[in-house]
Structure 1
């Protein structure tokens, strides 16, 4: 097992990355929200009362990626070069994918995980009125399987 990087005998610390080279970094995270099939159809047809669920979730996810160092205490602020959030629809779920890119000294997987999670939370918030049962509970709705699909670190040699 590797040693811990965020604390030592003096306490909590942010990992030093100053000695590292800036290289291309990319991370892709995915996750799903389970919804009633009727809710999926409302989203697909653009008939939700709160507006365009997909566009709103994309914007929320991108904003969350940019705010990751404010949300996750020991994350480095990273100069991002790109963020893409996309969705695939199933009969009773929406799968969100967040891809984050940067040229920097440390990876962007926390940003990708934050982006996908906030995108899914936004979907939930926008459709919660139709997902609730008669007791105000969410027996079907759930966010699941949030994970990093891919992490890329490419070093370039000058020729």
Structure 2
């Protein structure tokens, strides 16, 4: 509740029913968002990845493709998300000491932001790592999914604390 005791206006609900916010009159501007996810690998999954013995192929390449595809399909998965033109996307998938690190950056020129597209890209890439390595270990964990940065839009720029 706000300090005056009046509940805040819900942007995605009207009269108790869900709705898609109307962005018709908003100005299309250049917007970017970067998100990350981590895939924690048990030793047997890391060993399979390093040895290149995974029968499904290279998990990092497949994860990158999955993340790119996920960025473009976000509105199909996030119920009240606007379908927007993804004008650019980069998905980096790297093996680090802590596990597989996924970082996704998505760009658009639209009247609404791309945070959900970046978060979806990072999450879908992480899920693809799991899928590709699950034969080696079911104890793989996906963690640390978060927005790292965004630019553009009415709310301005954002950068997560390190």
TM range (shorter): 0.7 to 0.9
1:78-136 Cα shifts (integer Å, max 9, x gaps): 0111111002322341110010000010000001111110100110011111114xxxx
TM-score of the superposition, structure 1-length normalised? 0.86
| Corresponding residue to 2:123 among 117, 125, 146 | 117
Alignment CA distance shift 1:154-1:68 (3 Å): closer
Does residue 82 of structure 2 align to residue 82 of structure 1?
A: no
| Corresponding residue to 1:27 among 8, 25, 33 | 33
Q: Matched residue pairs, number?
A: 148
The DSSP-based 3-state class of the residue aligned with 1:131 is coil
Q: Distance in 1 between matches of 2:51 and 2:31?
A: 36
Contact 2:119 2:145 in 1 (8 A): yes
**Where does residue 68 of structure 1 map in the other structure?**
74
What are structure 2's unaligned runs of at least 5 residues?
3-7, 155-162
**Where does residue 144 of structure 1 map in the other structure?**
143
TM-score of the superposition, structure 2-length normalised? 0.84
What are structure 1's unaligned runs of at least 5 residues?
133-137
1:14-45 Cα shifts (integer Å, max 9, x gaps): 00111111100100000101002442343244
